[in-house]
Structure 1
Amino acid sequence: MAESWVNYAERIGSDLHLELSGPGSRRAALIRALRDAVRGGRLAPGTRLPPYRSLAADLGVARNTVADAYAELVAEGWLTARQGSGTRVAERARPPHSAVPPKAPAPPAPSARADAPHRSRPARHDLRQGTPDASSFPRSAWLASYRRALQQAPNEVFGPGDPAGRPELRAALAAYLARARGVRTEPDRIVVCSGFAHALRLLFGGRSGQILRSPLAVEAYGLPFHRQLLAAEGVRTVPLPLDEHGARVDRLSRERAVLLTPAHQFPTGGPLHAERRAAVVDRARAHGAVVLEDDYDGEFRYDRKPVGALQSLDPEQVVLIGSVSKSLSPAVRLGWMVLPERYVGDVLAAKGEREAWASVLDQLALADLIVSGSYDRHVRRMRQRYRDRRDRLVAALAERAPHVQVSGVAAGLHAVLRLPPGTERSALGAAALHGVALDGLADFRHPDTDMPAHDGLVVGYATPPEHAYGAALEALCGALASSGTRGS
């Protein structure tokens, strides 16, 4: 198929942008332009040039002018010409090193620290949190849903998208979230977005003015990326301490909004205690405030009864935000906001008149995946696979590193390994030497919190492909054994 297309393209001629300028004849100008294109690297060695007739028509010159220019450059060694192969750039006609400016070294990642040598080596084993097993994406089911969606899509689908999202997806989400997460909503309260970060930008940096305003209370441990995004929008975040029952919502002051991960605190693990769930909703109702619920991995629970969405306690005080980044893949770029009625119009105004983020065709495919039952089957299959991985991690650590306490493993896609004070950096360095990429707990700590710091590692056991997981565990245990984390 690919070869057929190449042959067709070569037969009809390919586009070649040349500017004929300077003194002399058109033939001389064409020769200069072709030399410059080869010398500068724009025409790479082996590139087939357009046939005489095609290039002559494009440039508005005589066919013989192109033929003569090609012949001279062949004689000079810039081009080669063979019967049946056309005219190509000569393999030895490579641009000199000085023609291409050296590529500047890439700047360090924003999260990298100058004093963190464990960031500098490429890793063989990826145990960073935040991503599912990419090799487990349900390709066949997604393809089948995409085909059905295309076949059944009305013509309007191929026009400008509705900023609220396709009604098929909003209806499917309303039913699914009610069944699987206990959410109370209607399709017209759901606005499709491209993920959690997009939702934050809409709420705190919308084009029609901020819908929610600073300051925002957040958990003392959370994603630094979210804090950076909020800071860029001028939002001040106020950290809430954590304990074994989750966020200390009793420490809320005058903040009009609070961002929580109530089903599974990120990254330390554990649900928000029932009394605190009720207390934060009651406070929001009494003070005209709002709770932002990050339901980032609510589908994956293992050793406990399902914890329903906080939103079900009062749909008018809670904004639930979810996505398929953990259940399917972050590459799909689809999420949703379940909104109190008073915010729907403002969020749609912030999005604009047309959908600019979430692919309409992907929305239809996801709707079909949910309605057909394929999404549920995939989630159940991955829940069992991630539970097995969690069990293998816990067993390996119990045998090889019994001094390490494992926590936060009743749900989700990552575990926290509690370490003795002062050993986190050495553990990260040892992990790097063993080719293991993972995150330190300190990276997630809010810089303004007065909560005591805890040393630890955040291990994403969902990230590696299945065939590589055993080797990743072996390397992790080897790193812990050599890192001095046993303490004194």
Structure 2
Amino acid sequence: MANSWATLGVDLHLEPTGSGGLRRGLTDALRDAVRSGRLVPGTRLPSSRSLAADLGIARNTVAEAYADLVAEGWLTARQGSGTRVADRAVVPPAGTAPRRRAPGRPAHSLIPGTPDLAAFPRTEWLKAARRALATAPFDALGYGDPRGRPELRTALAGYLARARGVRTDPENVMITAGFSHALRILGALLRARGVRTVAVESYGLDVHWGLLRDAGLATPALPYDDLGTDPGPLDEEGAVLLTPAHQFPMGTPLHPDRRAAVVDWARRTGGLVLEDDYDGEFRYDRQPVGALQGLDPDRVVHLGTASKSLAPGLRLGWMALPPSLVEEAAAAKGRIDTCGVLDQLTLAEFLTCGAYDRHVRSARLRYRRRRDALAAAVADRAPEVTVTGIAAGLHAVLRLPPGTEQSVIQAATWQGLALHGLAFHRHEQALAEPLDALVVGYGTPPDSAWAGALEALCRVLP
């Protein structure tokens, strides 16, 4: 039986010109595709038989066009490798603006917010993925529940109860594509409920404040002091976004009196607390601070992700929702699940088989060693700099002498070191006096680059 054109080789869109015959038209079309950069060097072309079937022309015509372009140096043909685009400079079409050269990447990065991606547990993750896929029911590959796969929601409910003190059922857990996705869902939900304002902390991430503003919500800043964020000014805001276990980026846990006060505010006003538990797994010198959600599951939304514990590229996050919000959150997310099913099933298996706990314990030890090396190096090389906020997490705050933050950031740029100052994380409405400090993400570099990054940091400290 003859092969259909739809089953032959790789696809290649060409429009041979009619002038000068098919052979010349095909040759010109291929040459133009290479010259313009549409076919980049190394691209493998379809076999002459496949392309002839696609174009509805004789195979010899294609073979002769290929031979012409090989002779001209546009293509190469080797036995066993097929016909490919030759390695040559691409000349952009006339009128095309030249592409600007991208600036060089820094040699080292201590930007907070990313774990050591080289330490991702590939082998264990692959084993979990194979087991998950082998046992997944057929309906798992369908559109699915907007809350996410029940296997992962069940695994997370158990893990969060055990490790973070969260009180929830699988029915009230929703899987999201990371924290930002969850915040978009909650922003839409709050706006639909008539909320106009979500209070935020004086220090944090402007991308999160921006997502809330995109939903039409105002984001006034609450005061911050040595006890953490002060919920005292809360009134009728409708909701508040906090990092109570480990304030980002200052690194302090919210004082117990203030934890109780913010929950009391939510009960009294009907408000909602959005708890960002971004790195709750990593603690070193103290017992873990339990989830605020455990104080009142009906008034607190607990949000977490695999971004710090595993990798942000997984795009896996979760919300433990008050039961009264589940249907509204599902409607705000959409009528079907929007998170990759296979990764959900893999994470569920990763959690239930114990691989997640093993990975976190190993990572906790590695990051603690880095934290200790950072504190020791700063104490030795820059005694005027104070290292704070290091009892937990993957970053530290380095308090600098007054007036030196910007000069240190500039010096870091010259050293090829990517670094954030505390001012980068300061809310524009923050009332407290600005502090000069660095926010150092010691979890970011791979092991092979950690010593070099630490040395570069010490060279720029005052």
Map of 2:357 onto structure 1: 376
TM-score, with structure 2 as normaliser: 0.91
Match of 2:16 among 14, 20, 33: 20
Match of 1:237, SS state, is: coil
Map of 1:400 onto structure 2: 381
Q: Aligned partners of 2:405 and 2:10: how far apart in 1?
A: 58
Is the Cα–Cα contact under 8 Å of residues 203 and 211 in structure 1 kept in the other structure?
A: no
Q: Aligned partners of 2:79 and 2:170: how far apart in 1?
A: 65
Is the Cα–Cα contact under 8 Å of residues 214 and 237 in structure 1 kept in the other structure?
A: no
Q: Aligned partners of 1:48 and 1:326: how far apart in 2?
A: 39
Match of 2:343 among 362, 366, 372: 362
Q: Residue type of the partner of 2:363?
A: M
Q: CA deviation at 1:188?
A: 0.5
TM-score, with structure 1 as normaliser: 0.87
Q: Aligned partners of 1:106 and 1:187: how far apart in 2?
A: 50
Match of 2:408 among 427, 441, 444: 427
The superposition leaves residues 281-322 of structure 1 with CA deviations (integer Å, 9 ceiling, x where unpaired) of 011101111111000111111112221100011100100100
1:304 matches 2:309: no
Q: Aligned partners of 1:468 and 1:83: how far apart in 2?
A: 42
Match of 2:172 among 180, 189, 199: 189
Q: Rate the CA distance shift 1:51–1:106 in 2: closer, same or farther, 3 A.
A: closer
Q: Rate the CA distance shift 1:372–1:212 in 2: closer, same or farther, 3 A.
A: farther
Q: Aligned partners of 2:86 and 2:363: how far apart in 1?
A: 53
Unaligned runs of 5+ in 2: 1-7
Count of residue pairs brought into register by the alignment: 456
Q: Aligned partners of 2:435 and 2:35: how far apart in 1?
A: 58
Q: Aligned partners of 1:43 and 1:454: how far apart in 2?
A: 53
1:454 matches 2:435: yes
Q: CA deviation at 1:215?
A: 0.9
Match of 2:396, SS state, is: strand
Map of 2:56 onto structure 1: 60
Match of 1:262, SS state, is: coil
Q: What RMSD in Å do the two structures reach over aligned CA positions?
A: 2.5
The superposition leaves residues 153-191 of structure 1 with CA deviations (integer Å, 9 ceiling, x where unpaired) of 111111113211111111111111111111111111111
Map of 1:477 onto structure 2: 458
Match of 2:155 among 172, 195, 199: 172
Match of 2:298 among 282, 307, 316: 316
1:151 matches 2:134: yes
Map of 2:251 onto structure 1: 269
Match of 2:315 among 317, 333, 353: 333
Q: Rate the CA distance shift 1:427–1:72 in 2: closer, same or farther, 3 A.
A: closer
Q: Residue type of the partner of 2:62?
A: V
1:259 matches 2:241: yes
Q: CA deviation at 1:121?
A: 6.5
Q: Aligned partners of 2:298 and 2:73: how far apart in 1?
A: 75
Q: CA deviation at 1:104?
A: 4.3
Q: CA deviation at 1:390?
A: 1.0
Q: Aligned partners of 2:311 and 2:82: how far apart in 1?
A: 45
Q: Residue type of the partner of 1:130?
A: G
- Greater shift, 470-479 or 143-152, is seen at 470-479
- Greater shift, 63-72 or 230-239, is seen at 63-72
Unaligned runs of 5+ in 1: 1-11, 108-119
Match of 2:229 among 247, 251, 258: 247
1:132 matches 2:132: no
